[in-house]
Amino acid sequence: MKPYQCLELIRSSGVIAILRLKNAEGNATAGANALLSAAEAIRAGGIRAIEVTLNTPGALALIEKASAHFDGSIRNDHCVAFGAGTVLDASSARAAILAGAQFIVAPTLKAEVIELCRRYSVPVFPGAYTPTEILTAWELGADMVKVFPASIGGPAFIKAIKAPLQQIELIPVGGVTLENTADFLRAGASAVGVGGELLDPQLIQSEAWPALTERARRFAQAAQRT
């Protein structure tokens, strides 16, 4: 998948599903199979971008298998973009990219992470909050900027930031719910990042795939109410 295709997937669906698990469940193969099934479930609901946080046990192996399984043309409905999240330094970003990550998300602003991603032509979304941090991230080469935590300020904060910085694409993360997804996007966000409210670890462990599909469908529908 080309970088612009990855960004187009994210913009068109308006939602990045965030997978963060604290404990490994079963062996690595079982974990990868569960992730593939979860990805199929939310893809069926209209969400086509998944961020696997690097503090999830076996994250790199999960990304490698999932990226190979779902990669392809953006016009192929089977295609899902898999990225790595909670990336704290350049070495972690490089490891994730070599494992197949198609985008990189960081909770903080580090120039070395952006520089590394630019070198590999992989979209990067560093974390920032203040107007100065957001503009700095953009000037350093961020494709989009993760606004974290979005629970502080909410959609009104995104609208206020976009007024003077309308050229910067924002992804609010932290505190995004089904009820406020449309509000964030109407305020000017290019997409939102959603964790447990969408990819609920309990639903994954219990293999409740139809329930995941329904959650994804509701978020996808909310993202289009802009």
Task: Judge whether 134 and 147 are in contact, CB under 8 Å.
Answer: yes
Distance CA 159, CA 125 (A): 19
Whether residue 201 is preceded by a cis peptide bond, meaning omega within 30 degrees of 0, is no
CA 125 from chain centre, in angstroms, equals 9
**Catalytic option among 64, 65, 110, 146:** 146
Q: Is 162 a catalytic residue?
A: no
Phi-psi region of 89 (alpha: psi -120 to 50; beta: other; left: phi over 0): beta
Looking at the chain, list the stretches that DSSP marks H as alpha helix, in order from N- to C-terminal side.
3-13, 28-44, 59-70, 90-98, 111-120, 131-140, 154-162, 181-186, 201-205, 209-223
**Tokens representing 188?**
């000017």
Q: Is 146 a catalytic residue?
A: yes
**Catalytic option among 40, 51, 169, 197:** 51
The residues pairing with 169 across neighbouring beta strands, listed in sequence order, are none
- Active-site annotation, residues: 51, 146
